[in-house]
Amino acid sequence: MQRGDEWVWGFAPHSRRLAQCYRPQVYRWTAARTAASGAVWVLAVFSGAFHTLHAFFAGMKAPGWIALSAFLLCIYILVALWNLVWQYAGSYLPGRRFGLITATPDQWLRDRFMSFALTAPVFVGGGLMLQQFMKARPHRWWVRWSLLWVVGSFVLIYAFPVLILPLFCNAEPLSEGSLRERLMALSETAGFDVRNICAVDLSRRTSAINAFVTGIGSTRKIMLADNLLKGAAPAEVEAILAHELGHHKLKHISASVVRTASLSVLVIWASARLTPPLADVAGYGWPPTGAILPLVGLLWVVMWGLLTPVVKAISRRAEKQCDDYALQVCSDPSAFAAAMVRAADSNLADIFPSRAVEVLLFSHPPVTARIAAARRRGAQPERTRSILREYRASNR
Ligand SMILES: [Zn+2]
């Protein structure tokens, strides 16, 4: 799809204008935040700042594990405050200004606080365990830590839809009606129980249209955003559900769990090899004390950062497979194209990203490529425009 063809497919001029201002801002902030966070973290590790902070807490008249917990909690609070400022200025404020974020400041802060309250104990508990593993086996700690990491990640993915998601959103099974009937037939073809398809009230936070698969095994659910169910034509909802069913049918979540676990073990092993020489350079000494933990964390972040293009490329390939699945099982490729246009407009998506942006940031193929795939399956621009027109009024 060429520049200029977006009007043929019915993209809304107003949304395109907003997206052209909004997305470059987001990219600039992402680059600035990554550079600034990296610089501050490297400086704190190699200037001895973490060493001094650790020595301060270690000097308290308290058992070692309490002093280490206080050190870790202090770091986590500083990181949370740093992220809060960047997110507020670089994500929340522009999101509100461009109409993408609907959450009130109170609600947004409550979400951030809730995330902090949930993750801080995991961060502190994880740090305490890691320190124990490193003390017990200074060169083989990566074996136990990998095991704990992989099991912990699996439990988190399993429990997420039943324990964590309900703290942030309300998800209800689809109510009886003609749409549920249509979606039931589709989900049966993928061997998925329609009772596990839920409507989730994301409109309280964003105007973007969204859908996702969550959980594994008995907790597996497909979530359809309420603004998708309210604002799109039934055939578009079908197309989007078919894409999500593709993730289920093609076992993408299980594959992603195995892949992420393998990469995590690789990253942890490499960090175990790199930590002793770097600890030497930074003057931390060996065998390590708890002061070394921020250096280990820095190594993980850098290595995952380097793996980002690979992880994103694998994700884009999986998303393309799901688009192909959706186009196979749905009878209306024009409705699929309409759903893509509507989702891209509601997300203020960059529909002509540069190659660098696509490689580094895009977990899905650019929407233009997705529409081109629909066109190859017979999508007609006139029909796509008419589906969009028919339902655009109710979406506003
Ligand atoms: Zn997908």
Domain with residue 222: its CATH number is 3.30.2010.10
Q: Measure 212 CA to ligand 1 centroid, in angstroms.
A: 7
Predicted local distance difference test score (pLDDT) of residue 379: 96
Predicted local distance difference test score (pLDDT) of residue 153: 94
Whether residue 1 lies inside any domain: the answer is no
List pLDDT tens digits, range 96-132: 999 999 999 999 999 999 999 999 999 999 999 999 9
Verify that 351 and 219 share a domain, yes or no: no
Average pLDDT over residues 368-383: 96
Q: Measure 64 CA to ligand 1 centroid, in angstroms.
A: 46
Q: Measure 67 CA to ligand 1 centroid, in angstroms.
A: 44
Instruction: Check pLDDT > 50 for residue 171.
Output: yes
Whether residue 88 lies inside any domain: the answer is yes
Rounded-to-integer distance, Cα 340 and Cα 388, Å: 10
Q: Measure 295 CA to ligand 1 centroid, in angstroms.
A: 35
Q: Measure 255 CA to ligand 1 centroid, in angstroms.
A: 14
pLDDT band of residue 393 (cuts 50, 70, 90) is low
Distances (CA, A) of 67 to 41, 58, 73, 79, 375: 21, 5, 10, 19, 62
Three-state secondary structure call for residue 199: strand
What percentage of residues in the chain have a pLDDT greater than 90? 87
Contact status, residue 207 vs residue 361, Cβ threshold 8 Å: no
Verify that 222 and 254 share a domain, yes or no: no
Whether residue 369 lies inside any domain: the answer is yes
Burial 276-289 (b: 16+ CB within 10 A, else e): eebbeebebeeebb
- Looking at per-residue confidence, does 64 or 340 come out higher? 340
Verify that 140 and 182 share a domain, yes or no: no
Predicted local distance difference test score (pLDDT) of residue 157: 94
Predicted local distance difference test score (pLDDT) of residue 287: 77
Average pLDDT over residues 153-159: 95
Q: Measure 322 CA to ligand 1 centroid, in angstroms.
A: 6
Whether residue 305 lies inside any domain: the answer is yes
Q: What is the CB neighbour count within 10 angstroms for residue 342?
A: 27
Verify that 151 and 284 share a domain, yes or no: yes
Verify that 186 and 93 share a domain, yes or no: no
List pLDDT tens digits, range 290-336: 999 999 999 999 999 999 999 999 999 999 999 999 999 998 999 99
Q: What is the CB neighbour count within 10 angstroms for residue 261?
A: 16
Q: Measure 339 CA to ligand 1 centroid, in angstroms.
A: 13
Verify that 374 and 276 share a domain, yes or no: yes
Instruction: Check pLDDT > 70 for residue 395.
Output: no
Verify that 336 and 320 share a domain, yes or no: yes
Contact status, residue 214 vs residue 293, Cβ threshold 8 Å: no
Instruction: Check pLDDT > 50 for residue 396.
Output: no
Q: Measure 312 CA to ligand 1 centroid, in angstroms.
A: 12
How many domains does one find in the chain?
A: 2
Q: What is the DSSP letter of 137?
A: -
Rounded-to-integer distance, Cα 137 and Cα 114, Å: 35
Q: Measure 319 CA to ligand 1 centroid, in angstroms.
A: 5
What is the residue range of 125's domain?
Answer: 13-160+238-395
